[in-house]
Chains A and B, each alone.
Chain A
């Protein structure tokens, strides 16, 4: 880009902020620090809280050898705009230069948490090399605090976790109170997971141990993942989440090692919840496997669950699946996924809560979440979203015709509830067959109870 031409354009339009920013960046790239600073100051006169300008000034200060001043400005910027990933990343870099790798690590983690595209392997490697191995623990309010549990990922393990692509940075502060309704499921989780972990001695006295594997199953879109996160929040544990695509990647190369590394990472950050979404993809029935590699991986998973290579105490392995019938029977034996929790479609209270969440930020009139909840028996969370999408589209279409803002009315929502069919119905049709014909161990009793077949 021609700097001179831009300077001329700027002379013609001196208050054009994007242009000012562009010219300042080009000046900075040419190490014309003073010129760049002048332009940035002009931006701040026009827009005192322009974050790009504030960040660029911090960068310029660092170039000029005034790193501590730059850090102060970044501190201010981060507190004003805590979701500005680029500011956290620069703060991490400057803090590392100041010889504080631990803090640098926290800022780096925060930047990547906000925006994964900010990940900078070279910077992370430098931080790790300098001793910044302790993870920053994030909460959903955006604050950072030290991980007091003293369960850091060591050196290369942190890089490995990044390579594996698992979500290991998030410490869930989601609690049961943040999940509306579903009291029966919460109670099941309290009895089967939380109480044993919180009172290990008591349970040990009865021959029961904390940790182990718990399988959440139910129709898709009904909050299994949310419940897993909330469970981690309730027991104040690190939450490591492995999704379908990471699981499938395991079948493609170095599978057993990858799986072992994930378990090792989880064990190092105990107490931890290691969550496998779409567990059926990893724990599939070996009879259906054509590739022997798949069978080896499943054997590895079984071995990790058994904890033969390391202890799994204080490590809770949570699995979620829409297709529990596709699981290899070996996974359901004692010591593995031996506690099973059925997560049914959201109940009345949960549906009202979900409706309120979807209503947020939308222009609504005559909105009655209780009424919507009543009309959506059997709907999953995803179905409820479809209801709101459909009603919003109707309002938008009317707005386009009238050329004026039209709110989403309760009537539109009611109509949408009739147009959207509950997606859980098909799931229950399949589930019923399994519950009727393959329920030798009582695995599907909850489904039979839910369907009213068993009292």
Chain B
């Protein structure tokens, strides 16, 4: 092993990935066909933002140089999981397992790929396989706790996290797993405490930071309701989730018809519940962020974009609500119109500030601004025609556009290209 290669490993251990890459490249200049150097390159590039594609190419080269070894294949599978290609990752992880059924790394890669595919049962089996090879495999133990929680088997998940913590009391991932299990159980205080412990050990762990934010948000009952819904949905595969949503839409329609046949007023609470659910799932994050802004400790957990989102959504929603109620109460219809439009604008606005897709941010910003402008035009039209039916003539046209844009933004929000970051840039 050359001293440059050893130096590169030391640099990686110390989190100096760009320097490690430079050192491995220098080693490769002398030994251009060293597969271990390509593995080292891949391991480092996986940690450098925007270099996942390069890491994959390195792992592929290493596979070509040592085709009988499971590790480069398993590594490729992990990179592909990060690139959000779980199907391909699963194929490679299975090849790695076939080459070396005693490789814990390969079983863990398979588990990760299966998690990416939302196949919890088989993911659990893979994690258990890795643990049967090495009962002290921290990654396998943490993955098992995670996948048990995803199946709502909270007691088992917590037991696995505690088993890990008994062996390694400084395992940040295990604390985070325990935190998520507590959150899913509804024990917000315990969740907060686990996440804080996890972050004390590793303050940069995104999984724990997200958990802490969720537990702060879950202090509001409104948000807890939507969190419960999210935890319920995560138990199912993608296709089953879609089936549940479609079922709910049809279920609502049937319920509305049934309610109307009993008494017309019965439709109101059903419609309210439906729209609260529909809007709530979009707005709950932004409103919870707004509530968090009022807490001097919790607000520190928010990143700048979440703070802006909280401020904007909170102002639009609560400001809009006040304007709407006040406008109706005092008969100041233009004010009520503005209030209503502000509330509707929260929907596209909820997809602007924390949206990792740049394209998405632009699209939803344009929609949001257009809706607000149309709202102003509507209010002006209503103000210039006192005594007329509120939504008529020009105002009616504007309101149609507003509804189309808001409804359209909820559909556009389902497009990955407008809601997700290109995984290659991660």
Contact = CB atoms under 8 A, between A and B. Distances in A.
A440 B14 contact: no
A323 B14 CA distance: 10
Nearest to B11: A248
A434 B199 CA distance: 8
B6 A251 contact: yes
Contacts of B201: 438
B14 A280 contact: yes
A204 interface: no
Most buried by A among B3, B14, B201: B14
Contacts of B196: 437
A325 to B, nearest CB: 7
A252 B203 contact: no
B10 A287 contact: no
A382 interface: no
A289 B12 CA distance: 11
Interface string B1-44: 00100110011011110000000000000000000000000000
B426 interface: no
B50 to A, nearest CB: 13
B7 A326 contact: no
A252 B3 contact: yes
A284 interface: yes
A433 B204 contact: yes
B203 A248 contact: no
B203 A433 contact: yes
Contacts of A280: 14
A290 interface: yes
B159 interface: no
Contacts of B13: 284, 288-290, 294
A329 to B, nearest CB: 11
Interface string A237-251: 000000001001101
A287 B201 CA distance: 11
Given A252-B3, A436-B300, A430 B204 contact: yes
Contacts of A185: none
Nearest to A281: B14
A34 interface: no
B6 A436 contact: no
Interface string A274-296: 00000011001001111000100
Contact of A323 (B7, B15, B199, B200): B15
A280 B209 CA distance: 24
A453 interface: yes
A438 B15 contact: no
Interface residues of B, number: 19
B199 A248 contact: no
A433 B207 CA distance: 13
Contacts of B10: 248, 251, 281, 294
Most buried by B among A248, A252, A290, A453: A248
A280 B15 CA distance: 10
A453 B10 CA distance: 35
Nearest to B1: A252
A403 B15 CA distance: 47
A437 B199 contact: yes
B137 interface: no
B12 to A, nearest CB: 10
Given A248-B7, A252-B3, A252-B7, A436 B14 contact: no
A281 B20 CA distance: 13
A217 to B, nearest CB: 15
B255 interface: no
Given A252-B3, A252-B6, A287-B170, A434 B11 contact: no
A433 B199 contact: yes
Contacts of B3: 249, 252
B203 A325 contact: yes
A438 B203 contact: yes
Given A284-B13, A284-B14, A453-B300, A440 B200 contact: yes
B200 A437 contact: yes
Contacts of B204: 430, 433-434
Chain A interface SS verdict (over half): helix
Most buried by A among B3, B13, B200, B203: B203
Interface in B385-412: none
Contacts of A294: 10, 13
Contacts of A434: 203-204
Most buried by B among A251, A289, A290, A436: A436
Interface in A301-357: 323, 325-326
Interface in B283-314: 300-301
Interface string B186-224: 000000000010011101100001000000000000000
Contacts of A287: 170
Contacts of A249: 3, 7
A433 B209 contact: yes
Interface in A218-266: 245, 248-249, 251-252
Contacts of B170: 287
A249 B4 CA distance: 10
Interface string A420-455: 000000000010011011101000000000000100
A280 B19 CA distance: 15
A323 B16 CA distance: 10
A438 B209 CA distance: 13
Interface string A114-130: 00000000000000000
Contacts of B7: 245, 248-249, 252
B19 to A, nearest CB: 8
Contacts of A245: 7
B271 to A, nearest CB: 43
Nearest to B208: A437
Interface string B106-145: 0000000000000000000000000000000000000000
A266 to B, nearest CB: 24
B267 to A, nearest CB: 48
Nearest to B206: A433
A325 B16 CA distance: 14
Contacts of A289: 13
A326 B209 contact: no
Contacts of B200: 437-438, 440
A193 B382 CA distance: 73
Contacts of B14: 280-281, 284, 288, 326
Most buried by A among B10, B15, B170, B301: B10
Given A252-B3, A430-B204, A433-B209, A438 B11 contact: no
A432 B229 CA distance: 32
Contacts of A252: 3, 6-7
Interface of B: 3, 6-7, 10-11, 13-16, 170, 196, 199-201, 203-204, 209, 300-301
13 contacts: A248-B7, A249-B7, A280-B14, A281-B10, A281-B14, A281-B16, A284-B14, A294-B13, A325-B203, A326-B15, A437-B203, A438-B200, A438-B201
Given A249-B3, A284-B14, A434-B204, 8 more contacts: A281-B10, A325-B203, A326-B15, A433-B199, A433-B209, A436-B203, A437-B199, A438-B199
| 10 A-B pairs with least C-beta separation | A437-B199, A433-B203, A437-B203, A434-B203, A438-B203, A248-B7, A438-B200, A248-B10, A281-B14, A251-B10
